[in-house]
Chain A
């Protein structure tokens, strides 16, 4: 579904990504893991067109998207939840969800999606007129997940969804990701939290210093010596 080939990207003058290649098949959960500063956020920002690709290609369902502006990429069916969640703080929960559905023209469809999400997350319905900035961290995470689903994406990219959340909420977020996947949405999960993300992902890629150094099934990666030593402290 997504095929990234030999992607390089820079942030300002500094090259961050070197020849990154990976792919995601339909209905998969794929995780990209790596330490802070490995280039994970640069990678997803480049996929979404927020940063320009220097070299290489990005194909979504067979179509090259590396030169498209961000809003066109969203219209193709990819949405991303950025690092740090990026709610619209001075807007209500309802308005945040409306923004998520910006590309959808059919009003009844928007309403149906919203009602469905409100059923799954009743706390958001209760707070629909509250400003997003007054929600708790966990609620904000639920809000951005719902916001990203409002456009009925085919591929959902999550950049460090567990960042700054209590372990019990992280668990809930990962559960939600699995459920979204079961509903047919392909997932790219970018995480520092390696054990948790490999537990939900089918496959994983390890990004270090801007290069993919390892890839494989989640089970294989969890028993890999490098991963065990560097990331899991075993």
Chain B
């Protein structure tokens, strides 16, 4: 039965889910925008983030929400290594090389996760319990916390991009990489910082995911597709695009599950992806030229 309050609740939960996807998509979008790199292993960074947070909270006994910081730092470090030792070698050579490297990374990350954490389902135990109910609509405290955390992280990213020297260099690189070097900017440093930052965002998304949902080493694949759907929906390389795309996506996914039921939530990513590619390939915020 579809009821107005049920629909309202669905929308709200959709926004909460969307927040996690926004983080993942924003990381993917920053990496694509600055480095022109398409990283298909981005969802695996989310998965690793979920496991790092899981280890920090379950094994070391850290508060689940503090373990987000561990996930961000850990995945950022992995990102540093991945950029330095794999992508840097092939960057700018041929798009296919970059794609094959990222496809290879998917299997390396998934197998490493199976080796380290085993091939069973895990979930991070949250200190928050229960639901907040207001006028017939309820939402879990975990999802409210997730929304708040995503807002804080996104505001920090906007501050970084607009107000700091490295943010200025990142934006310059995304527009003109040769001219950026002529400003005396070490573009390799910009790339490595960008990749680590994008990875950290995926790590944070992974920790939040692991607090709300159970996960396994195979977690990464679907979020990658969803993140691509979101940044294509919002416009490649645009952070506002990732935010709007992520919210729309989260709502669409949850509503599809509520209205159509069953298998539809995951299929909606592909439906949206195809519809956007057919109708407006540059996305909502794209197509303003260079």
Contact = CB atoms under 8 A, between A and B. Distances in A.
Nearest to A132: B175
B169 interface: yes
Interface stretch (B4-12, B66-74, B184-192, B271-279): B184-192
B1 interface: no
Contacts of B165: 102
A88 B172 contact: yes
A69 B187 CA distance: 10
A102 B169 CA distance: 9
A181 B179 CA distance: 23
Interface residues of A, number: 26
Interface in A43-71: 48-50, 69-71
B290 A48 contact: no
Contacts of A102: 165, 168-169, 183-185
A87 B280 CA distance: 28
A98 B186 CA distance: 16
B118 to A, nearest CB: 45
A99 B168 contact: yes
A42 to B, nearest CB: 13
Nearest to A81: B182
B168 A98 contact: yes
A25 B284 CA distance: 53
Interface string A62-103: 000000011100110001101000111111000100111011
B168 A50 contact: no
B173 to A, nearest CB: 10
A151 interface: yes
B168 A86 contact: no
B175 A89 contact: yes
Interface of A: 48-50, 69-71, 74-75, 79-80, 82, 86-91, 95, 98-100, 102-103, 133, 147, 151
